[in-house]
Amino acid sequence: MNETYENRIEKAKWVIQNAENILIGGGAGLSAAAGIEYGGKRFTENFAPFIKRYGLTDMYTSGFYPFPTQEARWAYWAKHILVNRYEPSGTQLYKDIFQMVKDKNYFVITTNVDSQFEKSGFVAEKVFEVQGNYGYLQCAKGCHSTVYNNESLVREMVAKTEDCKIPSELVPKCPICGGNMDPHLRINQHFVQDDEWDELNESYNHFLHESTGKKMIYLELGVGFNTPGIIRYPFEQMTFNNENATLIRFNMEHPEGAKENREKTIAFTENMYDVVSKIMK
Ligand SMILES: [Zn+2]
């Protein structure tokens, strides 16, 4: 971190130009930087009735709120899914990152569940959404491993929400066990890993394998410490194990990593848009 901003930009530019493979890790900080923030005006303007009734403070903690009934719970979740998954189109930051890597052999692993990578040009077969996706439902008990597209249902729920509740007939039920449904998110041990999840997990492992020893960039974008075992620690480990690897880390709050990788790390705490546009100049 002793190097100047311009220095780090030049280094990043050079290693990206010369890289054989790029593995991208996307965390919550990336979507927040792209403008999909879970607090502030986006929250207060979209959720005023829920804030008034339940005292909710932001979209992150609201996901864990113990709503009193399924009708109330789905009224909240439908709105949450609509504003984070269906309303936003591909954001400029994600599109810029795509431009930066699109001619390289790349792969994405992300804990984000909002489809921004796909919406911004990344090929679906190269994006492993390891924690699920807002756009699907699953059995809350994981009794079978199918996930169900929820777009039309979510839109109908939002349209028919009254007094912070959806009509009872819209509450989704598992077609196999008849129990409750959940959004397809890894919130507990019942998370469903369907065929598509398994295939992408395999593609991810294949990409790691074929990257062994290559001129490799681990591009870590806004990854904090909620689930560091998925992206952050493996990226440091893989950087350590490959003498031709560079770790490029974008993180405003936690840029510091393993000291063994110090020479191989380029860390940015600056605004992501700014860094990406300077690297692409
Ligand atoms: Zn079930």
The predicted pLDDT at position 2 comes to 65
pLDDT in tens, 148-158: 999 999 999 99
Confidence tier at 110 by pLDDT (50, 70, 90): very high
The CA 178 to ligand 1 mean position distance, Å, reads 6
- What backbone phi and psi angles, to 5 degrees, belong to 248? -110, 115
The CA 193 to ligand 1 mean position distance, Å, reads 14
The CA 194 to ligand 1 mean position distance, Å, reads 14
Give the range of the structural domain holding residue 191, as residue numbers without chain letter: 5-280
Those residues with Cβ within 8 angstroms of residue 241's Cβ, 6 or more apart along the chain or in another chain: none
The CA 201 to ligand 1 mean position distance, Å, reads 24
pLDDT in tens, 211-265: 999 999 999 999 999 889 999 999 999 999 999 999 999 999 999 999 999 999 9
Please tell me what DSSP assigns to residue 194. -
Number of structural domains in the chain: 1
The CA 259 to ligand 1 mean position distance, Å, reads 47
Q: What mean pLDDT is predicted for residues 112-123? A: 98
The CA 27 to ligand 1 mean position distance, Å, reads 30
pTM, to two decimals: 0.96
Please tell me what DSSP assigns to residue 176. T
Q: How far apart are CA 68 and CA 70, in angstroms?
A: 7
The CA 181 to ligand 1 mean position distance, Å, reads 8
Q: How far apart are CA 186 and CA 112, in angstroms?
A: 11
Cα distances (angstroms) measured from residue 69 to each of 57, 85, 268 = 20, 23, 44
3-state secondary structure of 41: helix
The CA 138 to ligand 1 mean position distance, Å, reads 8
Q: How far apart are CA 11 and CA 16, in angstroms?
A: 9
CATH of the domain at 36: 3.40.50.1220
Q: What mean pLDDT is predicted for residues 184-208? A: 97
Q: What mean pLDDT is predicted for residues 157-167? A: 98
